[in-house]
Homo-oligomer: A and B are copies of this chain.
Amino acid sequence: MYKYRLVTPGPVAVSERVRRAMAEELIHHRAPGFQPVLRDVREKLKQLFQTRQEVLLLASSGTGAMEACVSNLLSQGERAVVVRAGKFGERWAELCEAYGVRPVCVDVEWGRAVRPEEVQAAFEAAPDARALLVQASETSTGVFHPVRELAEVVHQKPGRMIVVDGISALGVHDLPMDTWGLDALLSGSQKSLGLPPGLAFVALSQIAQAALKESTQPRYYFDLRKELEGQPRGQTAYTPAVSLIVGLREALGVILDEGLPAVFARYERMAGIMRAAVEALGLTLFAPESPSFACTALRVPVGIDGGELVRRLRDVYGVHVGGGQGKVAGKILRIGHMGDVDGFDLLAVVAALEMALIDLGYAARVGEGMRTMTRLLRELSSEKE
């Protein structure tokens, strides 16, 4: 009755076009035919990152790129301010601990964005802290942190670095790396790029590239010095994930053909429409003040089991949304807007949500979510005509 619709905040649905590109016969990464692919991908990644720096490619999930930033930019015994506002903020702190870096945690209530003053206060309490580690979009809560303002706080003291996990934000929110002075910006393939998981990216400012040489941490596979050295020869340090890189070229082409400003505006509108629709259904947003445009997080109504709701949506209606993770497990739903999903796929999500809620005994405002959504989608189309 229902197709499988993948609308978690990642991994996301991969378009037919990208899957076909990846299904072509494999070429060797040292073959002349692969060099133009890699050059093209590198050039386009720079555009996506809005940077003049090289964007390094890693064969790993996004966590590998987070680890690379910690192990390459910080040394044992050093301190780093960590914004801990969700599961991925916790991951920064865990990574610091694994590498003997002392995290100075700014603990933020889940669902709220950090305030620049909170980070400022943390740096005042830890004036020797070398870096701020933060998510742009905290995927576990659906919050977007004020990256631009945080960069300003960090750069009040020269030499301090802001390291930004852009895993679900890059290609969704405007994150101009060079203009905002981000020292490290990282991302993964299975979010806005609409690829399968298995590729990660990191770009480093001049300051971060200098820090690279100072770190005394053990590292090999994620040694970014080697990746930077290989760049002029168009080589990755180890065997790259060739098929994913071939898909990446296709995916980047789609994004850059649409144009970054149009992409960002589309996400902003789609996220706004989704928030309006779920509120019209009678639901409460989990991160109303500073929502990420990559995914919409909403509270599971009191009396409903969130795990049951996620399962019902997925197993009865084919709509695979994200549930809550960590301390909000069972309490929130997260609807992703990235990857190969269109306005009617997202309408299906709202319809399924209404149906599943009624199944579970919740008095949803029948039809209101869909009505709001189609009205706003129609307005958007009219504007474009």
- Which residues of A does B touch, CB under 8 Å? 4, 6, 8, 10-14, 19-20, 22-33, 59-64, 67, 70-71, 94-95, 98-100, 188, 190, 196-199, 217-223, 238-244, 314-315, 320
Contacts and interface: CB of A to CB of B under 8 A. Distances in A.
B198 A59 contact: yes
B6 A197 contact: no
Contacts of A315: 32
Contacts of A64: 59-60, 221, 238
Contacts of A71: 218
A242 B11 CA distance: 9
Contacts of A27: 4, 6
A101 to B, nearest CB: 9
Nearest to A196: B243
A27 B220 CA distance: 32
Nearest to A62: B239
Contacts of A67: 220-221
Contact of A25 (B13, B31, B60, B241): B13
Given A26-B196, A67-B221, A100-B218, 6 more contacts: A6-B31, A60-B60, A70-B220, A95-B220, A197-B241, A241-B241
A341 to B, nearest CB: 12
Contact of A14 (B20, B26, B197): B26
A243 B4 contact: no
A98 B218 contact: yes
Contacts of A70: 220
17 contacts: A6-B26, A10-B239, A13-B25, A19-B22, A32-B314, A63-B220, A63-B221, A63-B238, A63-B239, A94-B220, A98-B220, A99-B220, A196-B243, A197-B241, A198-B198, A198-B241, A221-B222
Nearest to A190: B239
A244 B198 contact: yes
As for how many copies of this chain the complex holds, the number is 2
A60 B244 CA distance: 12
A350 to B, nearest CB: 20
Nearest to A240: B197
A221 B14 CA distance: 25
A223 B33 CA distance: 36
Nearest to A321: B28
Contact of A243 (B12, B13, B188, B198): B198
A170 to B, nearest CB: 16
B239 A61 contact: yes
Contacts of A199: 198
B25 A22 contact: no
Which one of A217, A223, A243 has the greatest number of beta carbons of chain B within 10 Å? A243
Query: What 10 pairs between A and B have smallest CB-CB spacing?
Result: A198-B241, A196-B243, A23-B23, A61-B239, A98-B220, A63-B238, A197-B239, A19-B23, A14-B26, A61-B238
B197 A320 contact: no
A292 B71 CA distance: 37
